[in-house]
Amino acid sequence: MKISDAAYIAGLFDGEGSVDYKKRLESKVRRGKKRKYYCWRISLEMSMTDESVVKWVHETLGVGTFNKKPRGIHKMQWRWRCSHRDALQVAKILWPFAQVKLHKLEQIIDHYEPRAQELGDNIIDLETERTHRNYKNNPWHNFL
C-alpha cells in the first residue's frame, strides 16, 4: 500500500469512521442453560453515502466487508467494517497517520500485541516503534 493511500484512509477514518473496543456482557444458551459472560467486541467501521469511496477503501485495505446500510427516507449509506485480527491489521496501517482515533487504535494494537508475541508472530510493539521513529527522525522511514 502506498503511504498516500494509508494517510488518506486514516483521514477519512478519523472523520467518518468509528472504533468499537469494549468488553460487553453477553448471554448465550449452552446445554440448556443461559450463561452470561464478558466478550470483547473489537471492530472498525466507516459509513458514507459515496459508494465508490467506501468500495475503494475496502479494496485497498483488502480486509473486512462492504455492504449497504439502508437509512429509510435518507440517502443510501455504504459501510466498510472489519473486526478482530483484521482490525489489528488495519489499526497498524492507520496508526502512524491517525489523529482523532489514535487512542482507540492504540488500544486495539495493545490488546493483541502481548498474545502475538507469545505466539511468536513478528509484531513490533508501539513503544519500540515510537523509539525507532524518534531515533530516525523520519516519520516515513518504515513505509518507504
Say if strands 65-69 and 33-48 run parallel, antiparallel, or are unpaired: unpaired
Count of domains observed in the chain:
1
Task: Provide the pLDDT for residue 127.
Answer: 64
In a domain, 7, yes or no: yes
Task: Provide the pLDDT for residue 144.
Answer: 40
- Full residue range of the structural domain in which residue 30 is found: 3-137
In a domain, 46, yes or no: yes
DSSP at 138: -
Look up the CATH number of the domain holding residue 116: 3.10.28.10
Residues of the chain with pLDDT under 50: 135-137, 141, 144
In a domain, 142, yes or no: no
Measured at the alpha carbon of residue 113, what is the angle toward residues 5 and 20, in degrees to the nearest 5?
65
Task: Provide the pLDDT for residue 119.
Answer: 53
pLDDT digits 0-9 by tens, 94-135: 999 999 999 999 999 988 876 555 555 555 556 666 665 554
